[in-house]
Amino acid sequence: MTSRRRPGKEQTTVDNTREFAPTTGERIWRAVKEALIILVGAVVVSSVLQHFVGQMFLIPSGSMEHTLDIGDRVIAQKIVPVHRGDVVVFRDSAGWLGPEPLVKRGPVGHALEFIGVLPDTSQNYLIKRVIGLPGDTVACCDAVGNLTVNGRSVDEKAYLYRSETGEQVMPSDIQFRVVVPAGRIFVMGDHRNASADSRCHLADVVPGEPTGADAFVPLSDVAGVGWAIFAPFNRTTILPKATDLAQIPAATTPAPDQASIEPAGVTC
C-alpha cells in the first residue's frame, strides 16, 4: 500500500545536530582546557615524585670525578635506606660550601626546580660517597695504603679518580682514625685530592658541639641515594655499587653519642 501526503502539507525533517555543533572558538577553548588539565596534572605528579620518590640534582664541582663529572644530572632516590658505599645527596647544614651558591637561578628557574623540570642547583646540597655508617671505625691507612673500615682493608680502585695519564689518587693524604657517632655518616669524595669532605672538618670548632662534630653528616640531612646519571645523554648510566665497601660487616659495638677522632686536630 502506498502512503499519500495530505494536500497542502510538506513533509519536513528537523536537523537537530546543527543546534549543538560546537563553534570554532568552543573547540579551541575545549582543547586549551584539556591541555591545561594535562599540564597541571603533570606538574602535580612531578612535584610529588621529586619530593617523595626521586629528585634530579646538578653536579657543580669535581669532587666526585669521574664517577660523576661537572654538569652531570643525577637522579637520587628518596625511599631507600642508606648503605655503606652509596653515593648520597645531603643538605649542607654544616656550611661546608660557604655562603655563596655555586649556581644562581632566578624565580622562574627556582619554580622549575621545585616541580622537578630542572635539576636542583641549591647551594645547600652536596654529593659524596658513604664510607662509614653509625658505629663504624674508619681509618687511614693500612700497610698497603688502603682505608680500613671496622678493621677490614677497602679496595677502592673501581671508583677513585684517575688522571688523564692513568695515575690514581691515594685514598687519603692524611692519617686519621674515627668512630662514627649515632645517627651520622662519614663521607668522602671519589676525587680525594679535590674533595673537602668529612676528613677536612675533623678539627672544626662549632659552638656547643664537640670539636669535629660537623664532619659527620646527620642521616636526617640525606636527601636521597644516587641512582643514575640522567644527562648528558652520552653519560646516561646506572651508578655502580661499591661492592667492597658494601660487604664489610657492621660494627660489633653500638654507635657512640659522640665521635672519636684521632689524632686531635687532624684536618686536610
- The residues that are catalytic are 63, 128
φ, ψ for residue 224, nearest 5 deg: 170, 165
Beta-bridge partners for 188: 129
How many whole angstroms from its chain centre is CA 73?
9
Report how far apart, in Å, the C-alpha atoms of 212 and of each of 11, 19, 192, 194, 205 are: 98, 79, 19, 20, 6
Residue 184 near residue 154, CB atoms below 8 Å: no
Distance CA 95, CA 156 (A): 28
First to last CA, the chain: 110
User: CB neighbours (10 Å) of residue 167?
Assistant: 8
Find the helix or strand (DSSP H, E) in which 92 lies.
none
